[in-house]
Amino acid sequence: MVFKSKNFCIVLSSPSGAGKTSISRRLLKKDKSIALSISCTTRPRRRGEKNKNDYIFITDEQFDKGIKKNEYLEFAKVFGYRYGTLKQTVINIFNKKKDALFDIDWQGYQQLKQSNLEVVGIFVLPPSKKELVKRLKTRARDTKKEMKKRMNLVQNEISHFPEYDYVVINKDLEKCVEQITCIIESERLKKSRLIDLTKFVNRFRI
């Protein structure tokens, strides 16, 4: 007998440069019972990004409208732009009987935890400061001033790790994805999430 598990939210947060995007991509490829929650953002589209695939790119006015209509499950300002998760996006994922994967920051995570949804928070850390600086440098043509600003933001983000249920260090991508897969599998096996468990156990009564 295989039990179905109640669907839940998996939040991945990390400072930029910790490899969260690569992790999400691998997870989605590996586990077809997970779907990515695609956020809305007011930040401009980067090269290679597709609307509705990476983000739903909207204007400030559209974002404001959504807030007024209470359409967001959570929203926050990150690096000067606004990001948010639409309630409808998560409803659609749960309707497909999938778990929802969120690539959002600590502010969004805090709001999700206050909602009535079941949330599992995973914080991804880079293996060392040296490696983090290296990754940040290869990511952009940053000036020294810009790098310092980013490092400060990274430190602020990292200070929120105690609020998460799990912390994973991304030294080796494959290993990290494997560990997160184990976390998700264990969370699915939680007694409270197993649908029809009591009904099944009751069959053993004599």
Identify any residues that bridge with 169 across adjacent strands, giving them in sequence order: 125
Q: Shortest Cβ distance from residue 103 to ligand 5GP (Å)?
A: 5
| Angstrom distances, CA of residue 191 to CA of 53, 118, 182 | 34, 14, 16
d(CA 29, CA 106): 25
What residue number has its CB nearest to ligand 5GP?
108
Q: Does 84 engage in binding with ligand 5GP (CB under 6 A)?
A: yes
Residue 63: phi and psi, rounded to 5, are -65, -45
Tell me if 105 contacts ligand 5GP by CB under 6 A. Answer: yes
> Of 87, 98, 85, which is closest to residue 188 (Cα–Cα)?
98
DSSP H or E stretch at residue 135: helix 129-139
Return the number of the residue (5 or 99) whose C-beta is nearest ligand 5GP: 99
Binding residues for ligand 5GP, total number by CB under 6 A: 14
Sorted by sequence, the CB contacts under 8 Å of residue 80 that are 6+ apart come out as none
Does 87 participate in binding ligand 5GP (rule CB under 6 A)? no
Q: How far apart are CA 126 and CA 147, in angstroms?
A: 16
Regarding 107 and contact with ligand 5GP (CB under 6 A), the answer is yes
Indicate whether 43 belongs to the interface with ligand 5GP (CB under 6 A): yes
CB of 178 vs ligand 5GP, minimal distance in Å: 22
User: Is there binding between residue 76 and ligand 5GP (CB under 6 A)?
Assistant: yes
Is residue 103 close enough to count as binding ligand 5GP by CB under 6 A? yes
Question: Under the rule (CB under 6 A), what is the footprint of ligand 5GP?
Answer: 39, 43, 74, 76, 78-79, 83-85, 103-105, 107-108
